[in-house]
Amino acid sequence: MAGIFGIGVSGIQAAQLGMLVTQHNITNSNTPGYSRQSIVQATSIPMGTASGYSGSGVQVTTIQRQYSSFLSDQVNQSETQLSSLDSYFQQIQVIDDLLADANAGVSPALQDFFKGVQQVVASPASLPARQAMVSTAQSLITRLQGADQRISDIYGQVNQQISDTVGLINTYGQQIANLNERITTAEAAVDQPANDLLDQRDQLLGELNKLVKVQTVSTGQGGIEVFIGKGQLLVMGNRANQLSAVRSAEDSSRIAVAMDLGNGKLELPSDTISGGQLGGLLSFRSETLDKAVNSLGKVAANLALTFNAQHQVGMDMLGNNQGDPGFVADFFTLPDPKVVPSNPAGPVVTASFTAPELTSNLSTGNYFTDLTNSDYRLEYTGTAFSLTRLSDKTVWTGASIADLNAQITDRTDSRGAQGFTLADDGAAYSVGDSFLIEPTREMAKNISIDSRLSGDVRLIAAGFPVKASVGLTNAGSMQVSIDRVRLDSSSSVPGPAFPVKIGISADGASLTLGDASGPYSVTNPGPLQVTVYTSSGAATTYSLEYPASSTPPPTGAGLTYELADGTGRILFSLKGNPQPGDTFSIDMNDATTGGTVGVSDSGNILLLGKLQTQNTADGATSTFQGVYAQLVSDIGNKAREIEVTKEAQQSLVDQATAAQQSDSGVNLDEEAANLLKFQQLYQASARSISVGQKLFDELLSIARA
């Protein structure tokens, strides 16, 4: 009889526990992170009898949670990627809107500036036109600086968000460490899983995973270790390592993530942290924000360098040109590239922009630069120097800084020229010394107009320092014009001693150069060495060049020639049909020779205006507008890429979550059915006890009788 009671009681206890677990599921059906629980039943140890083993009822061996580590990992992996993309997209939208704004962007201001230049082309003697050019230049600079400031503000916001995210990571890490201890203690006490505590820890891991990608490793007895990034240990048992938001050792304007190791803080490279909000912020900063500010600076630097290169060969309204004390060579002012040393007490390394080059076709060509939108890292290994272009990890190595300079200025090198050179102060290097080089990072912020030009617009070098004219008694239709003045040094205006008089020989087969000392005939084609005698009788050899495929004399189709003396060159064109004996001359453009002193001459400003549509960037392959348009396009394409990827990732999260919830979530209909099931089990077990009671009472009544 005792067996009947024992079996019935065990059934009641199992049913009661089943109802409690079911009710626990129902009340936590909306609790975040809760996993459905169920009882696991097993038969009690049977009793051996002569007739065989007799069952002794049921027992609940454990209460298990319906949990799949595989499905949970799927959810975590998809959610950390979604969180990273969402963080990235929120930031890049701001940059995209800023740069692509048709009214507030840089592109309209760039167009307005060259409209101002064209006004001076049309009226080089007009002071209002010159003032308008300066005003539009200042508007362009304001627009560049405004865009740079907005990007700087975004840098500050990203820095703050990184700091806030690091603080949340530390909070979650400590809570997980505390739960580790509670879980270990609870499971050791009863040798059963602490289901609710495990759910709480998994929920915290999920929230942490949205901030930074995590990996976990079980340590036994319910404990786990939590790793972030590429193996950095955040939680070990009941101890959590602390992260810190610190000023980057490489660039103090940037917030980096460091781990407190107890004996100091180790700065973690940005590329070691991935996933989650933190990974998205770091990726946005390195992939998009850095590129945006560098590209904006590249627009400013390329504009300033090429515009200055052309401006410095001109003549202002006061008759000043290169070499004169009052001449202002550079229209724009620009600082040198920024260099940040890892060891401020070590050698001083500086960077300088290389002077813009002229394209090979001098008559229709222009100045151009080789600047990229990348930063660089210079490192000393003890035996050599290495320079790494950070955008694509291209590397140059050399035994000295001079070796590196020879490579990064070589356009025939497959890696291309980089648009800058390096120098140092001669101090000794130590192994591990490194320098972050930012050629264009601060150019948009620091570009300006030379204050002397903005204060006196007459100093704009709109004219050429030389002029060309044909002889008054010429019989032919020959025309001559100065196309370009090119300087190879800043010592003085180039070319032979003036005036240089050039004529057509009597037989029409050659050019004749000469002055008061007499003409000298040149008959052989190709690049020619000509001797010009000055009025004092001094002889100097100069070059007279024309295309090798052409044959003198000049014809109606026109030829372009170049006079050179080693410090610079004068490019001029001949058109029309000259007659034997016709002459033309090249002379200084000043009052003493009947020149215009740069007042009404627009030769140089015309070339400055042409820069707008010429390939001045990326090794003479892109225009000013092209560089900026490429920046806008890259940011826009990246924003769209992130948006589309984020939408696709959201679908993956929804699918993974649905799969997890179908396995671990609470189904109220199912739980209602379980309540009925356990109620019936309870009633049936109670009924068996009631039957046993009646039998027992019958036996007692028989015994009394």
> What is the structure's pLDDT at 97?
87
| pLDDT 10s digits, 161-213 | 999 999 999 999 999 999 999 999 888 888 888 888 988 998 999 999 999 99
Residues 6+ apart with CB under 8 A from 615: 359, 366, 368, 621, 622, 623, 626
Task: Kindly provide the residue ranges of all beta strands, DSSP E only, lying in 507-636, ordered along the sequence.
Answer: 511-515, 518-522, 528-533, 539-545, 559-564, 568-575, 583-588
> What is the structure's pLDDT at 561?
55
- State the average pLDDT over residues 267-279: 88
Question: Is residue 489 over pLDDT 50?
Answer: no
- How is residue 62 written in tokens? 């454990």
> Considering only CA atoms, which of 303, 287, 336, 294 is closest in space to residue 148?
294
Contact yes or no for 488/568 (Cβ under 8 A): yes
- State the average pLDDT over residues 401-410: 94
- State the average pLDDT over residues 133-145: 95
User: What does 337-390 look like in DSSP terms, one character per residue?
Assistant: PEEEES-TTS--EEEEEPPPEEPS-TTT--EE----S--EEEEE-SS-EEEEET
DSSP 67: -
Specify the 3-state DSSP secondary structure of 677.
helix
CA distance 698 to 691: 11
> Considering only CA atoms, which of 330, 332, 338 is closest in space to residue 300?
332
> What is the structure's pLDDT at 563?
56
Share of the chain above pLDDT 90, in %: 42
Residues 6+ apart with CB under 8 A from 511: 502, 503, 504, 505, 522, 544, 552, 553, 554
| pLDDT 10s digits, 576-610 | 666 666 677 767 777 665 666 667 889 899 999 99
Partners of 41 in the beta sheet?
60
Question: Is residue 534 over pLDDT 50?
Answer: no
HSE of 256, CA atoms in CB hemisphere, 13 A? 18
> What is the structure's pLDDT at 169?
94
Residue 442's pLDDT band, with cuts at 50, 70 and 90, is very high
> Considering only CA atoms, which of 493, 487, 464, 480 is closest in space to residue 604?
464
Specify the 3-state DSSP secondary structure of 35.
coil
Count how many residues are written for the chain.
705
Per mean pLDDT, which range of 46-55, 105-114, 145-154, 528-537 is the poorest?
528-537
Strands 223-228 and 52-54: unpaired
Question: Is residue 552 over pLDDT 50?
Answer: no
> What is the structure's pLDDT at 1?
44
Most confident of 277-286, 584-593, 659-668: 277-286
> What is the structure's pLDDT at 296?
94
| pLDDT 10s digits, 497-515 | 444 555 554 444 445 444 3
For the chain, the C-alpha Rg in angstroms (whole number) is 42
> Considering only CA atoms, which of 547, 543, 531, 450 is closest in space to residue 494?
543
Query: Of 361 and 517, which is predicted with more confidence?
Result: 361
> What is the structure's pLDDT at 579?
67
Question: Is residue 453 over pLDDT 90?
Answer: yes
CA distance 700 to 628: 104
- State the average pLDDT over residues 335-362: 88
Question: Is residue 88 over pLDDT 90?
Answer: yes
- State the average pLDDT over residues 336-346: 89
To the nearest whole number, what is the mean pLDDT of the chain? 82
- How is residue 613 written in tokens? 């549509």
**Residue corresponding to tokens 């879980």:** 183
- State the average pLDDT over residues 273-302: 93
Question: Is residue 355 over pLDDT 60?
Answer: yes
Question: Is residue 551 over pLDDT 70?
Answer: no
Contact yes or no for 478/584 (Cβ under 8 A): yes
> What is the structure's pLDDT at 487?
61
User: What does 207-272 look like in DSSP terms, one character per residue?
Assistant: HHHHHS-EEEEEEETTEEEEEETTTEEEEETTEEPPEEEEE-SS-TTSEEEEEE-SSSEEEEPGGG
Task: Kindly provide the residue ranges of all beta strands, DSSP E only, lying in 565-620, ordered along the sequence.
Answer: 568-575, 583-588
Per mean pLDDT, which range of 84-93, 313-322, 601-610 is the poorest?
313-322
Question: Is residue 537 over pLDDT 70?
Answer: no
Angle, vertex CA 313, rays to CA 312 and CA 314, nearest 5? 95
Supply the pTM of this predicted model. Answer: 0.82
